[in-house]
Amino acid sequence: MGRIKLGLRHFVPNFSQAFCAPYCGVRCYKLKSEIDEIPFYYLFLDSVESHDGQLTITLSQAALSTQKEDLEIVEGSKISNLRAIEVQDESLGYFIQFDDALYYQVIGESANDFSKDEIAENGNIITFKNSSLLNYLKESTFLFNVTPQDDQIVHYCVQTADDWIHVLSREKPTIVHRNT
């Protein structure tokens, strides 16, 4: 896989706040999972595969580079002794499996909108109640009209460094370690 540099944010030494709520006015809840202890900016999306309502999200876990480097933002302005976040061929990985995915979308992390009041302390799989995405799909599509047990549909969001994957499902996801 090699070295990944995807923006200044990946070089910030103390970037430890995890943002979770991509839709303003939404209360979010953490879904306890085994990837909760991993900062979201160390997780990278490898693939999303959907087939017959089954959605598989494949993630790789990055680590800090052992090499320090300098970063010049503008001419004459340099930040020193930074370490990049890298995904290697032997990096740990995870499969996140939704067995009843009704809808999903992948959004770049910078395109998500949130309020500081909606930030979760940790957790990489967030659940939402009354999100604007749920409301939009209820009011503007037939998804809720043609789905049995529509009152059990939950809006999940899987956070990674560069992408947030929004999933509507009636089932909680399962997480499985991926061998390299």
Give the C-alpha separation, 23 to 115, whole Å.
Answer: 8
pLDDT for position 22: 38
pLDDT for position 31: 58
The answer to whether residue 2 sits within a structural domain is no
pLDDT for position 153: 87
- Indicate whether 85 pLDDT > 80: yes
Our count of domains for the chain comes to 1
- Indicate whether 98 pLDDT > 90: yes
pLDDT for position 114: 52
Buried b (16+ CB within 10 A) or exposed e, 13-42: eeeeebbbbbbeebebeebebebbebbbbb
Q: pLDDT digits over 6-18, tens only?
A: 333 333 332 222 3
Poorest-pLDDT segment among 49-58, 67-76, 83-92, 156-165: 83-92
The beta-strand segments (E) located in 24-100 are: 27-30, 43-51, 54-61, 63-74, 77-86, 93-98
- Indicate whether 28 pLDDT > 70: no
**What does pTM read for this prediction?**
0.73
Q: pLDDT digits over 37-65, tens only?
A: 888 889 999 999 999 999 999 999 998 88
Find out whether 42 and 135 touch, Cβ atoms under 8 Å: no
The residue that leads in pLDDT, 115 or 47, is 47
Q: pLDDT digits over 120-158, tens only?
A: 334 688 887 667 888 888 889 988 888 888 788 888 889
Give the domain extent around 61: 8-173
